[in-house]
Amino acid sequence: MDSPARRKSTRTRPSKPPLGERAVVDAGLRVLRREGLDAVTMRKVAAELDTGPASLYVYVAQREELLRLMLDAVIATVPLPALPAPPPGDWRERLAGLITDVVHTLNAHPGIGRVSLGSIPTGPAWLDLFDRILGLLLAGGVDRQRAAWGCDLIALHIGAVTYEVAVAQPAHGDGPDALQGALESRHAQASIEDRLAALDPERHPHLAASTAELTAGPAAARLALGIEVLISGLAPS
Amino acid sequence: MDSPARRKSTRTRPSKPPLGERAVVDAGLRVLRREGLDAVTMRKVAAELDTGPASLYVYVAQREELLRLMLDAVIATVPLPALPAPPPGDWRERLAGLITDVVHTLNAHPGIGRVSLGSIPTGPAWLDLFDRILGLLLAGGVDRQRAAWGCDLIALHIGAVTYEVAVAQPAHGDGPDALQGALESRHAQASIEDRLAALDPERHPHLAASTAELTAGPAAARLALGIEVLISGLAPS
DNA sequence: GATGGTCGACGAACGGTGTTCGTTACGAAC
DNA sequence: GTTCGTAACGAACACCGTTCGTCGACCATC
């Protein structure tokens, strides 16, 4: 379009101010909050920083590593109880509260929880969190081995719950009329309610008798049940 | 290479014998067992059937739907207890056995469990399975509402557990020297053991005191713990 | 037996993805 | 003032899911 002299072709801009890992992670989080996890592509994150995808690989080995760093950055925002020893209040309540906080924080960044399912998180913020969880379990008198594996179990549950929520509400932004798109595309898998309403009481007697209970209840109550089940299942009898 | 007349260019072959949804799903399962979930691409599945990717869209609306069909086909192979009423043996044991069977079956198809995390499964085989699980919970005297949500919880756990296992053992095949590749690529995230060995006892006292327990134990024992925690957490006290 | 119409297998292409490579500008050290 | 390592960058590679229009093969009808 412009004259060839005007061409900025290879290497025009004077190499931007340096990025840094932190800047890359923050840009990723911005894209995540705005458009959801699937939109966190190397290209979009790079565009957020007004550069090309290749530039990100100086600070991040892979997309997956970027996601791990983002996940840890999110977990780092969860307020943790003070270290030395938790006040002696009911350990179950304290643990349930902590897990609830984590889940809510993760849900504010839709989909990021999936990353924790891929590999047991080992970032610094996760280690802090695990230590508190383990401490609470031990304080509750849970067997050492059971507490250790319980820690794992809780992390797994957190990942699963936050992943599921993210799929239910596909992303918030994604530009204008995202809701429209989410509804009309998707090839319309029959909803769970429809499936439950249509099932044969002969073949699925229990499901048919419980349709109301299966679809009932606010998400918060379901979340609370899951956490309660985990804790009371782990607690010493 | 050959003479232009030999060219099969556009539309040479006489349109193959028809495929059918079943054939597509089976081909997908073959690729899955051989190379893992990520390798189940429309192109690879099509190649398995000696055709092009476009041909699959006659039987399957999307890749995601193909995966759902594959998941249901796998679940259909789990033997279920007879319908009318389960023998009165301990419902906990029966339920634990059922869940264990499901997990093992899913683990034989690495990664497919992830699909169930994406959306609550509503395929026929899953409905059968849910009905049995719900029946066992109700037989155990679990409250109706709690049993219904517990069903959900168990499905979530199954998905999470099978997803995690799949990532740990990235695929079996993937061609020659898959193990070599898995080790040298991956950009070598520090292993959990290394991380645990390196942590600061001041900052993470409980983790540091439990490294042995955290890494200990066969996978089967961890799986059993998770199932036991869920069941005893759901059971009426 | 010829004919018309429907179904689906197919080639090609589009717009995206993660990642790699070699080049090159910059800032600091000498 | 020159050198030199670091890192931003353009371009490209090999894939991906999905769509479009074409056209061969079969089947119901005349």
Q: For A173-184, what is each residue's pLDDT tens digit? A: 444 444 444 444
**What is the spatial distance between Cα B160 and Cα B126, in angstroms, rounded to a whole number?**
16
Q: What is the pLDDT of residue B190?
A: 72
pLDDT tier at A89, thresholds 50, 70, 90: confident
pLDDT in tens, B203-230: 999 999 999 999 988 999 999 999 999 9
Amino acid at A48: E
Closest CA to A69 of A118, A111, A125, A18: A125
Identify the pLDDT of residue B164.
80
More confident residue, B74 or B9: B74
The conformation of residue B4, written as its DSSP 8-state character, comes to: G
pLDDT at residue A168 in the model: 57
**Residue B11: its pLDDT value, please?**
40
> A169 with A219: CB under 8 angstroms?
no
pLDDT of residue A51: 92
Q: Is the CB of A9 under 7 A from strand C?
A: no
Average pLDDT over residues A137-145: 95
What pLDDT does A85 receive? 62
What residues of chain B, 153 to 182, have a C-beta less than 8 Å from chain A?
153, 156-157, 159-161, 163-164, 167
Q: Do A122 and B195 touch (CB under 8 A)?
A: yes
With distances taken from each CA to the C1' atom of nucleotide C26, the closest residue turns out to be A15
pLDDT for A16 equals 55
Residue in this structure with the two tokens 């690729």, named with its chain if needed: B31
**Alpha carbons A229 and B230: distance in angstroms, whole number:** 6
CB B98 within 8 A of CB B112: no
Residue A223 pLDDT:
97
Say if CB A80 and CB A49 are below 8 A apart.
no
Give the integer Cα–Cα distance in Å for B94 and A139. 32
Q: Which residues of B touch A217 (CB under 8 A)?
A: 145, 149
Long-range contacts of A195-199 (CB under 8 A, 24+ apart): A195/B122, A195/B127, A199/B127
For position B178, what pLDDT does the model report? 47
CA–CA dist B110, B128 (Å, integer): 22
Given this model, what pLDDT does residue A185 score?
Answer: 46
Tell me the pLDDT band of B53, cut-offs 50, 70 and 90: very high
| Strand C contact at CB of residue B203, distance < 7 A | no
Name residues 115-154 of chain B within 8 A of A (Cβ). 117-120, 122, 127-128, 130-131, 134-135, 138, 144-153
The helix or strand, by DSSP H or E, that contains position B224, with its residue range, turns out to be helix B219-234
The alpha carbon of residue B161 and the mean position of all alpha carbons in its chain are separated, in whole angstroms, by 8
Residue of higher predicted confidence among A104 and A85: A104
Q: At A8, is the pLDDT very low, low, confident or very high (cuts 50, 70, 90)?
A: very low
Give the model confidence (pLDDT) of B107-120 as tens digits.
999 999 999 998 88
Q: What is the Cβ-side half-sphere exposure of residue B154, based on CA atoms within 13 angstroms?
A: 31
Q: CA-CA distance, A27 to A59, in Å (whole number)? A: 13
For A28-40, the pLDDT digits (tens) are 999 999 999 999 9
Q: Residue B149: its chain A contacts at CB < 8 A?
A: 213, 217, 222, 225-226
Contact between A62 and B187 under an 8 Å Cβ cutoff? The reply is yes
pLDDT of residue B194: 85
Q: Which bases of strand C have any atom within 7 Å of the beta carbon of a protein residue?
A: 8-13, 16-26
**For residues B1 and B4, what is the distance between their CA atoms, to the nearest angstrom?**
8
Instruction: Give the list of residues 6+ apart from residue A16 with CB closer than 8 angstroms, or none.
Output: A50, A51
Confidence tier at A205 by pLDDT (50, 70, 90): very high
Q: Which of A64, A58, A74 is nearest to A24 (CA)?
A: A58
Tokens of A182: 């989410």
When pLDDT is cut at 50, 70 and 90, the band that residue A3 belongs to is very low
The per-residue pLDDT for B48 is 94
More confident residue, A159 or B181: A159
10 Å CB burial of residue A216 (0-12, 13-18, 19+) is middle
CA of B19 to C1' of D26 (A): 15
A128 Cα to chain B: minimum distance (Å): 7
Taking the C1' atom of every nucleotide in all shown strands and the CA of B49, the nearest one is C9
Q: In A, residues 195-224, which contact B (CB 8 Å cutoff)? A: 195, 199, 203-207, 210, 213-214, 216-217, 222
**Structural domains of chain A, ranges and CATH numbers in brackets:** 16-74 (1.10.10.60), 79-178+200-234 (1.10.357.10)
Q: How far is B178 from chain A (nearest CA, A)?
A: 19
Residues of B in contact with A229 (CB under 8 A): 150, 153, 229-230, 233-234
Residue B184 has pLDDT above 80, yes or no: no
Residue B198 DSSP class: T
CB A191 within 8 Å of CB A168: no
Rounded to an integer, the average pLDDT of B127-132 is 96
Can you give the pLDDT at residue B55?
A: 93
pLDDT at residue A46 is higher than 70? yes
Per-residue pLDDT at A7 = 28
- pLDDT tens per residue across span B82-110: 766 666 679 999 999 999 999 999 999 99
The pLDDT score that the predictor gives to residue A187 is 55
What does the buried/exposed string (b/e) look like for B134-156 if buried means 16 or more CB atoms within 10 Å of the residue's CB? Answer: bbbbbbbebebbbbbbbbbbbbb
Residue that has been written with the tokens 């989909």 in this structure = A111
Q: What is the 3-state secondary structure (H, E, C) of chain A?
A: CCCHHHCCCCCCCCCCCCCCHHHHHHHHHHHHHHHCHHHCCHHHHHHHCCCCHHHHHHCCCCHHHHHHHHHHHHHCCCCCCCCCCCCCCCHHHHHHHHHHHHHHHHHCCCCCHHHHHHCCCCCHHHHHHHHHHHHHHHHCCCCHHHHHHHHHHHHHHHHHHHHHHHHHCCCCCCCCCHHHHHHHCCCCCCCHHHHHHCCCCCCCHHHHHCHHHHHCCCHHHHHHHHHHHHHHHHCCC
- Retrieve residue A216's tokens: 């009932």
Distance B219 CA to D1 C1' (A): 65
Instruction: Answer yes or no: is pLDDT of B186 > 90.
Output: no
Q: Is the pLDDT of residue A152 over 90?
A: yes
Confidence band (pLDDT; 50, 70, 90) for A225?
A: very high
